[in-house]
Amino acid sequence: MNSHFKIECPKCSQPIECPVDYLDKLISCPHCQEQFLARPLAATAADHVTPVANAIPGRPKTSTLAVWSLVLGILSLPCFSIFSAIPAVICGHMALSRISYSGGSLAGKGLAIAGLATGYVGIALAIFYIPLMLAIAIPNLHRARDTAQENACINNLRIIDGAKGQWAMELHKSQTDTPAPSDIQPYMGRGASGELPACPNDPTQTFENSYSINNVGTKPTCKILPATHILP
């Protein structure tokens, strides 16, 4: 009884002689390294040939897509990143599809399933945490903007008050005298023709619409937001 059979590589068409123990098993072509199931040629199945040492069963390769799916899925968990979770899910599905159609030449089904699981969890976390973080961040940004505008307006009030004091001192004005904007303009560090400031909360307004200079004995006030833009 013959203990060998002859097959033909489906890729390079080179003849290969295998022991009968390799029948219907995954082997590697010694010429091109292609992996395929060992099936005998009908016309030569009974031929007796010399064993071929290089025709040994090949080990299935791990799917690269399955590995990437797991790596991206793991990265999506600590970062809550939908940008790595979605590719993890796509790679996982592609890997499972290719593994199922590979006839045993590709491995890594467990990696692909793990990548899918972590990818879907990453998407769920991103959907939950991104709106939550936006809900926290947006009010804080508005609050920081309002605080910055308030500080800038109070600084303008200090400049107006200092200019008013210098005007009163040089011209020997009393506490009840009220200067005009043109009177304090030279003392505000902007020159006689410099532009007078407006409240940062509404920079489209003029100086007169933004501030009340008041008399020398009264601190200047903001007309835009008088409740919060107050000179201490």
Residue 97 lies in a domain: yes
Q: What angle do the packed helices 82-100 and 64-79 form, to 10 degrees?
A: 160
Half-sphere exposure of 168 (CA within 13 A, CB side): 19
Residue 168 lies in a domain: yes
Q: Please report the pLDDT score of residue 54 as a whole number.
A: 44
Q: Mark which of 133, 157, 180 sits at the end of a domain.
A: 133
- Output the six-digit token pair for 81: 């990143």
> What letter represents residue 6's amino acid?
K
Q: Please report the pLDDT score of residue 160 as a whole number.
A: 92
Q: Mark which of 105, 133, 161 sits at the end of a domain.
A: 133
How far is residue 165's CA from residue 115's CA, in Å, rounded to a whole number? 72
In tens, the pLDDT along 65-113 reads: 999 999 999 988 887 678 889 999 999 999 999 888 887 888 999 999 9
Does residue 44 share a domain with residue 73?
no
Q: Which of 22 and 60 is assigned the larger pLDDT?
A: 60
Residue 229 lies in a domain: no
Total of domains in the chain: 3
Residue 102 vs residues 25, 27, 70, 96, 202: alpha-carbon distances, Å: 14, 14, 20, 10, 67
Does residue 211 share a domain with residue 153?
yes
Residue 139 lies in a domain: no
Q: Please report the pLDDT score of residue 227 as a whole number.
A: 87
In tens, the pLDDT along 125-147 reads: 888 888 888 889 999 999 999 99
- Output the six-digit token pair for 23: 């029948």
Residue 90 gets the label, from left (phi > 0), alpha (psi -120 to 50) or beta, of alpha
Does residue 165 share a domain with residue 120?
no
pTM of the model as a whole:
0.50
How far is residue 21's CA from residue 38's CA, in Å, rounded to a whole number? 10
Does residue 107 share a domain with residue 73?
yes
Does residue 85 share a domain with residue 28?
no
Q: Mark which of 21, 38, 59 sits at the end of a domain.
A: 59
The answer to whether 57 and 16 are in contact (CB under 8 A) is no
The answer to whether 163 and 218 are in contact (CB under 8 A) is no
Does residue 189 share a domain with residue 173?
yes
> What letter represents residue 195's amino acid?
E
Quote the strand ranges of 73-215, DSSP E: 106-107, 211-212
Residue 15 lies in a domain: yes
Does residue 89 share a domain with residue 55?
no
Q: Please report the pLDDT score of residue 51 as a whole number.
A: 42
Domain that holds residue 177: 149-222
Does residue 217 share a domain with residue 167?
yes
